[in-house]
Amino acid sequence: MRKRNRKNNIIAFWLAMASSLFLFISGTTGAASWIEIKNIILTYVNLQLISSLLVFILIIASFGALAVFIGGILILKREVFWGRLLIYLGSGAGIISFIFNLFISLPLSNLSIYSYLSFSSLGVILALLAQIFSRKRKKR
């Protein structure tokens, strides 16, 4: 079972590397969506601790491709939790935005699938696959 987890983590590493390349080329970060999330949360709960935590998350998310790259390296080094977290923060809001935009524009008949296969979209999809493939070590 350990070999299988290791193999999946190696696949997740390469998916994260490809994802970070596509995100870097397109200039995509998760920062814009995290700003909106921060504004929504702070309208309902205005605590300094939550505000500070959201600013910290925003800083990490603004690195985008670099956060995904470091997350892939952490997964390879068997720090799966932290690697998945960085991949999510670097592209996680992008995944939500991608799915949201996909469902909003499905009724439009003049759009083709090629409009979704941009570098940004491919980077987000590969980041999602890297999170799916990464496995934690089982504690004995």
| Residue spans of the chain under pLDDT 50 | none
**Per-residue confidence (pLDDT) for residue 64, from 0 to 100:** 84
> DSSP letters along 77-136, please?
TT-HHHHHHHHHHHHHHHHHHHHHHHHHHTT-TT--GGGG-SHHHHHHHHHHHHHHH--P
**Per-residue confidence (pLDDT) for residue 93, from 0 to 100:** 56
